[in-house]
Chains A and B, each alone.
Chain A
Amino acid sequence: MFRTIFNKELLDQILSPKFLIVSLLCLGLVPASLLLNYSNYQNVFHEYDASQKEAKNSTTVYREPSALSTFGIGLESVLPEKVTFSKYETDAKGIQAQTEVLSQINGKLDFVVIVSFLLGLLAVLYAGMMASGEKEAGTLKLMLANPTRRSTVIAAKFAGGFSVLMIPFAISVFVGTLLLLLEGFPLFEAGNLARILSLLALSVLYLSALFSLGLLISTWTHKTSLALLASFFVWIFLTFIIPKTSEPIAGLIRRVASEEVMKANRAQVRSQIEKEKGKALAPLMAKYLPNDGQGKWDWNAYTGARGPIAKEYEERLDQTLQKFDEDYERERSARRALSLNIARLSPASAYTQAALNFCHTGIADLENFSRSLQAHYIQLYQAVFKYSFQDTFSSDDGKNNRSMGGDSSPEGKIDYPKFRYAFPAYEDTLRATAPDVILLVLFNLIFFSAAYFSFTRYDVR
């Protein structure tokens, strides 16, 4: 009986005009987006490759773009291509995006966006008509007038309908991947194949959750028009409203100062300690670096004498700024985690977060990149920054201001540490995506079980 209804569902859906529309959309959009994004990736990679030569012996580092951004751009476009470090400030444009990451993703058309938005909508609408459509056509009554279990009907309808949705999806992915291979995409390198297969499996899991949701809506309604309208609104709520409001809601629950306020506070703390240091060093400056136009400067004596006095202040400044940054990062991380968890109420968000992690353009990669930058900063500090100094003296009346900068590094060539950004390992990505995958499995179970029980009580009259 299952097979009979499954085959009927398969044939009925394939013969319907909506199958043609879905097929054309998939075949048009998926390969085109893959080719376009791969071309963009190649351009960015060439720029990265060329800039690597400049990166030697400098405090500027470059981030290698991910080839898998071809499938999901995600945060690729907001993460900095290069980061220039200085002793107390880091110029990393785009790192600010760490706080409000959700609003930064899904900006450009790519495979993940196509699955999350377009195919997600089609899955809900497709399934939304399944029970109500049959009721409206009177075929459900005819079907159930036969010795057929309702549980068999709903299971076969799900399996048949979902298989039909997967046909254009599978073909478009196959065609797209084939075209990518012809363009030279490194499919079999660096674990890309495993990641793409994981992404596809995740997409199927997500689409089946939305298909089950559509089926549930269908078993709650008795008219196709109402089912379509309800499906559309539910889709808008899950795909736009929840993800877009999660950050403001998290912001209300956990208030975190803005990046600008944090920088201003940081600068104030730094200025205060620098001022204290300046005051402590003022006698040495006056002694060894007189500015009355009469005395002779003894730079070496000054740098030698300032060390023990400045050390206390510099250590305090390092510790204070480090604590300041750590506290701010902790608050920001907590808020980000809250916002991401709220967003996870939506299957679309759970899917996007997990899918982008498989593409190396998700939140796990952003955090990994941040950690890499922090580690590199420590290396740079030990090799470069700890030797440089800037002493500023300001008199109380503000009339006498002096600033002295220098380098106390040992003689010889500075050995700049090399920065090589390592993408998270596949196992790490799996760990990072596990909550989202579990959620998608749960969404599947909840929606399908609800649809199943709702259909067993569905009024077919």
Chain B
Amino acid sequence: MATSQPILKADDLSMRYEDGVLALDHLNLDVRPGEVYCLLGANGAGKTTTINLFLNFIPPTTGTCFINGIDVTKDPLEAKKYVAFVSENVMLYGNFTARQNLDFFAKLGGKTALAKNDYYQVMRRVSLQEKAFDQRVKNFSKGMRQKLGISIAIIKDAPAILLDEPTSGLDPKAATEFLEIMAELKNEGKAILMSTHDIFRAKEIGDRVGIMKEGRLVMERTRQELQYEDLVKIYIDYMKSEPLAIS
């Protein structure tokens, strides 16, 4: 378990949408280097909103998101230098080859001096088939696109990675491969915040697991604590419990 300063930090984060829905209610969490934090919760629990707030796609109603100590709302461009993102449905540019997609996003992430081989290396690392490197992405399966999505995150070489339900829709083999890569990135010292519905894989990969319900972080357990508890039971119990009082 990492003990240094958090790379990702949500400080008393709340988000109320224009229609009045409270999507996030005073969320506090942090992710440190070399740590995987899994956010579990039903649809609408606030997992994706948390990630969207870290990426400054929406401004928080109250509270602050920090990436590498930088206030995301105040200096989004600087903060985004230190974070990579993998979304649930990585469609990418279908007319581009895998390498062209990687090249474009690498340049956006500030990596402008990469050679062809650097791209191939990253794609090999995520076990993308060699023949797919220069194939158009529109013919890729979801698993292949997801691997390419991780390549994009890897090539940016940011200290933090945000993953929004990255294993959703993947077959078991692809999901296992995906988690192996996450484990490697964690070992490299990346701070990983992953929202997921997959309780088993959350338990497998997460150093800490948080359960969200109605915008609140209602439970948090460390890997050590979960060795003696049944995460599935805890999760189901929370989901079945009475709705929370509106704050």
Contacts and interface: CB of A to CB of B under 8 A. Distances in A.
Contacts of A141: 55, 57, 85, 87
Interface in B64-88: 76-78, 80-81, 83-85, 87-88
B95 A461 contact: no
A142 B55 contact: no
A148 B57 CA distance: 12
B100 to A, nearest CB: 7
Contact of A139 (B77, B88, B92): B92
Interface in A122-153: 136-139, 141-149
Size bracket of the A interface: 20 to 34
Interface stretch (A11-19, A33-41, A284-292, A324-332): A11-19
Contact of A12 (B88, B96, B152): B96
A142 B80 CA distance: 11
A130 to B, nearest CB: 13
A408 to B, nearest CB: 83
A147 B152 contact: no
Interface residues of B, number: 34
Interface stretch (B106-114, B123-131, B210-218, B238-246): B106-114
B89 interface: yes
A148 B108 CA distance: 7
A383 interface: no
A146 B95 contact: no
**Secondary structure dominating the interface of B:** mixed
B76 to A, nearest CB: 8
A1 interface: yes
Given A8-B93, A15-B96, A460-B57, A138 B108 contact: no
A147 B96 contact: no
Q: Considering residues A12, A139, A147, A149, which has the most beta carbons from chain B within 10 angstroms of its beta carbon? A: A147
Contact of A149 (B55, B77, B100): B77
B90 A147 contact: no
B52 interface: yes
B85 A138 contact: no
Contact of B100 (A11, A137, A138, A146): A11
A145 B83 contact: yes
Contacts of A16: 95
Nearest to B108: A146
B235 interface: no
**Secondary structure dominating the interface of A:** helix
B57 A142 contact: no
B105 interface: yes
B52 A461 contact: yes
Contacts of A143: 105, 108
Q: Considering residues A1, A5, A16, A145, which has the most beta carbons from chain B within 10 angstroms of its beta carbon? A: A145
B90 A138 contact: yes
Interface in A145-166: 145-149
A294 interface: no
B58 interface: yes
A137 B92 CA distance: 6
16 contacts: A1-B108, A4-B104, A8-B93, A11-B96, A137-B93, A138-B87, A138-B88, A138-B90, A138-B92, A141-B85, A142-B85, A143-B105, A144-B57, A146-B105, A148-B108, A149-B77
Given A11-B100, A137-B94, 14 more contacts: A8-B93, A139-B91, A141-B55, A142-B85, A142-B149, A143-B108, A144-B57, A145-B84, A147-B109, A147-B110, A459-B58, A460-B57, A461-B48, A461-B57
- 4 tightest CB-CB pairs across the interface, nearest first? A145-B85, A15-B95, A137-B91, A146-B108
